[in-house]
Amino acid sequence: MLCLLSLFLLCKTSTNFTISYEPQDTRTAQEILEFANEELPRISKDMGITQKSIPHINIKLISSTSDIDKINGFPDWGIGCAIPNKHTIILKSPRIIKYPVNIRTLVAHEISHIVLGNLTPVEIPRWFDEGMAMYESHEWEIGESVWLSWANFNHSILPLSSIETYFPRNHKKAKLAYVESFSTIAFIINQFGEESLKELIQALHSAGATSHFDQILHKVLGLNSIDFAQEWEKWVEHRYNGFNVFFNTFFPGTLLLVIFFLVIFLKRRRINSNNLKSFESQINNTNEHEESDS
C-alpha cells in the first residue's frame, strides 16, 4: 500500500513494515521492503519467537545528512540503526553513502536488533546484541578474521566489559568491536554447540523482568560474564593468531591452486611428450621410406 506522508515524503506498507522515503528512493524503498518481508520470518524462527508477537516496524530511509546528524547516537560512519523500544529502523539512503552496501545484509542486521529487543525484558550486553545481528545477517568474511588476528597480534583486543554498553565512536575501534562481537557468538557455537546458542536465546525469551543476563549465561553455559570473557579471550588468542588464520583461511585455497596448476603442467607435459613422440615417429617413417626408395 502506498501513502503520502507529506509533499516530499512517501511511504509503503506491508503486514509487518511501513517504510517512509523520498520519491528519488522509490526503487530502493521497494527493495528494502521486499528484503524485510523475507528476512523477518527467518530471523524470528531462528530466535524462537512468533512473527505475530513482533509489533509493526517502521523503517525510515533518510537521504539528508543534516537529518542524520540530528539523530542522537548515530555515528558518522554508521549506515543504519535500530531502536527496538520504538520498533523503528533508520537507514541511510544509498544516495548519501560513499561506498557499496549490501542492502539485504543491512536490513537483516537491523531487524535482528528489533527481534532480539522484543524477545526479552533482560538487558542484553551490546556485544551479544551486535554479535547476534552479525550472525543473523551473515556478515562474517575473510577480512574479519584478518582484522581480529591483527588486533590479537598487536595486543589491542577490546575487553568485552568495555563494549558491554557502548561501542567506541572511533571508526577503527568500532569495527574491531563489531568483529569481536560476532566472534563471541562463534565462540559459543564452537565451544558449546549451536544448540547451546539456541538454548541461551530461549532462556532469554522466557526470562522475567528481574532476571540478569549474567545469571542466564551461567545457567546455560556454566560461565558467568567474567569467566566467559576470559575463556573467549583465550579462544581468540589461539584461533586468531597469524598462522591459524592463514592455514584455515588462505592455505586450503592456495593448496588447491597449486594442485590445479600442477595438474595443468603435467597434462601439458604429457601432451608435449606425446607430440614429440609422434614427431619422432613421423621422422623415422620418413627416413625409412627414403631408405627403401634408394
SS3 annotation, 21-48: ECHHHHHHHHHHHHHHHHHHHHHHHHCC
* Radius of gyration for the chain, computed over Cα atoms and rounded to the nearest angstrom: 28
Q: Are 191 and 135 in contact (CB under 8 A)?
A: no
| Strand 2-4, strand 10-13: pairing | antiparallel
More confident position, 198 or 265: 198
Average pLDDT (197-210) is 93
Average pLDDT (158-170) is 94
| Residue 242 in grid coordinates | 597469524
Predicted confidence (pLDDT) at residue 249 exceeds the cutoff of 50: no
pTM metric for this prediction:
0.80
What is d(CA 137, CA 78) in angstroms, rounded to the nearest whole number?
Answer: 16
More confident position, 140 or 218: 218
| Residue 226 in grid coordinates | 567474567
Predicted confidence (pLDDT) at residue 284 exceeds the cutoff of 60: no
Predicted confidence (pLDDT) at residue 142 exceeds the cutoff of 90: no
